[in-house]
Amino acid sequence: MVAKPAGSGIIDYMINENTLPAWSDLSVLEQLQSIYWDAYKDAHGFRPRGIDTSTWTVQDFEVELAHLAEVADRANAERLASEADAAKALEERILVLIGMGADDRNQAISWIAEAEEANGDMEYLCYLLGLRYGYFR
């Protein structure tokens, strides 16, 4: 374990040593700050800005991490519902195109991809239509 100079923060240590410390080299509060950073992104889709956690206690982090877990669970449920709605809309669109003359499902999807200007990138088409990635595999 590499000892940090007394009184210096992890950022100063990283700059001076030009390296990232091992997880075990971080204090419990530094580990919780890192976990909070990731959990905030999971919950909100972006990293926290303007939130000073330097005075937080372990208990403060535990309360906030529990809240972020609830927010992330709700966001995930909303995402799954939205993707299900998008899949239903796509399947209806495919049936309409088959009714309009597409030979089969693949041709209908090809027409949709062209209309959406996905340029042959089916993952991008998933993004454009709000589908889960990998929907067309």
**108 burial level (CB within 10 Å; 0-12, 13-18, 19+):** buried
Its pTM stands at 0.71
pLDDT for res 25: 87
Cβ atoms 71, 40 nearer than 8 A: no
Q: What does the pLDDT look like over 61-119, one tens digit per residue?
A: 999 999 999 999 999 999 999 999 999 999 999 999 999 999 999 999 999 999 999 99
Domain ranges (residues) in the chain:
10-129
Q: Which residues contact 14 (CB under 8 A, 6 or more apart)?
A: 20, 21
